[in-house]
């Protein structure tokens, strides 16, 4: 990886797994050092750009790793201050974890086969004749053909989804915005849970 520890005072992973996405390898190495006590609560992690340079990764990869680490509750990011280690409190059970707020500010794809699926999909789209419609503005609810495919995949038994009543959203914030606009009018009060700093 070409890491020069003699000229770098910040944290560096001892080893990154060669398999799987690079950002997950970085998160797992960070989580291991936190779990094993090598990183203490409040330790300031290196800025994204510095760590990326030391590890030979893109800044985007490090940013994605820090976002995932924040979702796991092992770091806390503060704008203008940096990213700090947050060691989980001992005896933290699943019930308390379930009560933690969901951070909708982070757009991180679910772990899995997304790279493999997207690679195959992009290759298929580039070889087909349907690329032009994808580059134009889409209907607000999504392309009709896509809605029909999704409606068919989630329908079953007596539960039938009408494609005309299906909206394709660009993430959780978009979905929540649409849902609120459907049920609330300008000036209506909307009750929410406690706002958590940094979320």
Q: Which domains does the chain have, with CATH numbers?
A: 5-98 (1.10.10.10), 137-188 (no CATH)
Four-point Cα dihedral 119, 113, 48, 35, nearest 10: -160
> pTM of the predicted model, to two decimals?
0.46
The predicted-structure confidence for 63-119, as pLDDT tens digits, reads as follows 999 988 988 888 988 777 888 898 665 555 555 555 555 555 555 555 567 777 778
Element (H or E) spanning 85, and its range? strand 82-85
Length of the chain as a residue count: 199
In angstroms, the CA 70 to CA 91 distance is 19
User: What's the first-to-final CA gap in the chain, in angstroms?
Assistant: 33
In angstroms, the CA 177 to CA 170 distance is 11
Helix 48-55 to helix 59-71 angle, to the nearest 10 degrees?
Answer: 120
Residue 160, pLDDT score: 92
Beta bridge partners of 85: 75
In angstroms, the CA 98 to CA 109 distance is 20
Residue 2, pLDDT score: 47
- pLDDT higher than threshold 70 for residue 199: no
Four-point Cα dihedral 97, 194, 82, 58, nearest 10: 70
Residue 134, pLDDT score: 73
167 vs 196, higher pLDDT: 167
Parallel/antiparallel/unpaired status of strands 82-85 and 75-78:
antiparallel
Greatest CA separation for the chain: 65
The predicted-structure confidence for 136-159, as pLDDT tens digits, reads as follows 788 878 888 889 999 998 898 889
- The residues near 177 (Cβ < 8 Å, ≥ 6 apart) are none
In angstroms, the CA 76 to CA 66 distance is 9
Residue 131, pLDDT score: 72
């Amino acid at each position: 990886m070409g890491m020069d520890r003699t000229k770098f005072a910040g944290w560096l992973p001892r080893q990154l797994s060669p398999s799987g996405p690079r950002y997950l390898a970085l998160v797992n190495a960070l989580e291991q050092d936190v779990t094993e006590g090598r990183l203490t609560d409040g330790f300031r992690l290196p800025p994204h750009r510095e760590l990326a340079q030391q590890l030979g990764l893109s800044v985007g990869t490090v940013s994605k790793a820090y976002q995932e680490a924040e979702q796991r509750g092992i770091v806390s990011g503060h704008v203008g201050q940096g990213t700090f280690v947050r060691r989980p409190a001992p005896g933290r059970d699943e019930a308390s974890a379930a009560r933690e707020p969901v951070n909708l500010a982070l757009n991180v794809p679910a772990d899995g086969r997304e790279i493999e699926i997207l690679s195959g999909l992009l290759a298929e789209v580039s070889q087909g004749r349907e690329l032009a419609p994808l580059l134009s503005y889409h209907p607000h609810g999504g392309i009709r053909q896509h809605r029909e495919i999704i409606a068919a995949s989630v329908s079953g038994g007596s539960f039938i989804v009408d494609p005309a009543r299906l909206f394709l959203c660009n993430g959780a914030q978009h979905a929540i915005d649409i849902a609120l606009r459907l049920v609330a009018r300008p000036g209506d009060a909307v009750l929410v849970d406690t706002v958590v700093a940094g979320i």
